[in-house]
Amino acid sequence: GQQVMQIPQYQHVQEGEDFTTYCNSSTTLSNIQWYKQRPGGHPVFLIQLVKSGEVKKQKRLTFQFGEAKKNSSLHITATQTTDVGTYFCAGAHSSASKIIFGSGTRLSIRP
Amino acid sequence: DSGVTQTPKHLITATGQRVTLRCSPRSGDLSVYWYQQSLDQGLQFLIQYYNGEERAKGNILERFSAQQFPDLHSELNLSSLELGDSALYFCASSATGTVNTEAFFGQGTRLTVV
């Protein structure tokens, strides 16, 4: 079936280092959303990308949607302890009626 | 606070039993989604309802069923429970139910089957 693959599964960084998580699909996505789930919490919507090649920024977070609309990335510059959590991408394939979540990347940070 | 309410927060039950999880969507949202999250796992989409009608189905077991009522709240029924059904069950709601609409998640119901 249609899947959205996300890597890496885990990332452990020193505070202040950068962090990137990647999502890939074998077929074109109509849009992609990013969510953050803090430990013990629930997923919270961060952003949605719709256009080919789109780049959006939220403070230290940069979100990109690939030109072919098959991949996306989330980059965090100079991580802080508040960035700890699991980041999920969620993509919808053009022909599908449901959004599919990636497996998530768990970010942990050494102070 | 996302505005999505899930009850109960915790549930412990024995194998073979049946439970009902309840979700009240955000005010004005017409669509409800159910997800299962096992320990250290991603979010597995179970089912989506829009304005009382089933909109999309994911990897939902035959032992599981759901419905959305006229007041738009939803219930997820899990029967003949197995140990492997232990997980966090999230409900989410969105305004239109289309794939390009932001979803708001509830706090989840943690189900433990013993």
Q: Which residues of B touch A30 (CB under 8 A)?
A: 99-100
Distance CA A48, CA B41 (A): 22
The pLDDT, as a whole number, for residue A57 is 98
- Mean pLDDT for A49-72 is 97
Q: Tell me the pLDDT of chain A averaged across its residues.
A: 93
Integer Cα distance of B114 and B107 in angstroms = 22
Residues of chain B with C-beta less than 8 angstroms from the C-beta of A97: 55-56, 99
B62 touches chain A (CB under 8 A): no
How far apart are the C-alpha atoms of B34 and B89, rounded to whole Å?
7
Is the CB of residue B60 less than 8 Å away from at least one CB of chain A? no
Counted across chains A and B, CB pairs separated by less than 8 A come out at 55
Distance from CA of A101 to the nearest CA of B (A): 6
Inter-chain residue contact A99 with B106, CB threshold 8 Å:
no
- Average confidence (pLDDT) over A60-75: 97
Tell me: the pLDDT tens digits for A81-110?
Answer: 999 999 999 998 865 567 889 999 999 999
Region B73-78: mean pLDDT is: 98
Q: For A47-56, how does the pLDDT look when each residue is reduced to its tens digit (9 = 90+)? A: 999 999 999 9
Listed in sequence order, the DSSP H helices in B6-50 are: none
Sign, Cα dihedral of A21, A107, A46, A96: positive
Instruction: List the one residue out of A39, A40, A19, A21 whose CA is nearest residue A101.
Output: A21
The model's pLDDT over B31-60, given as tens digits with 9 standing for 90+, comes to: 999 999 997 678 999 999 999 999 989 889
CA distances to A63, A93, B54, B101, B114 from B51, in Å: 32, 23, 8, 15, 35
Here the tokens at position A103 are 């497996």
Choose the closest CB to B43 out of A92, A96, A101: A101
CB contact under 8 A, B102 and A33: yes
Cross-strand bridge partners of residue B42: none
Q: Which pLDDT tens digit goes with each residue over B12-37?
A: 999 999 999 999 999 999 999 999 99
Whole-Å CA distances, B4 to B27, B31, B59, B72: 8, 12, 23, 12
The verdict on a CB contact (< 8 Å) between B99 and A42 is no
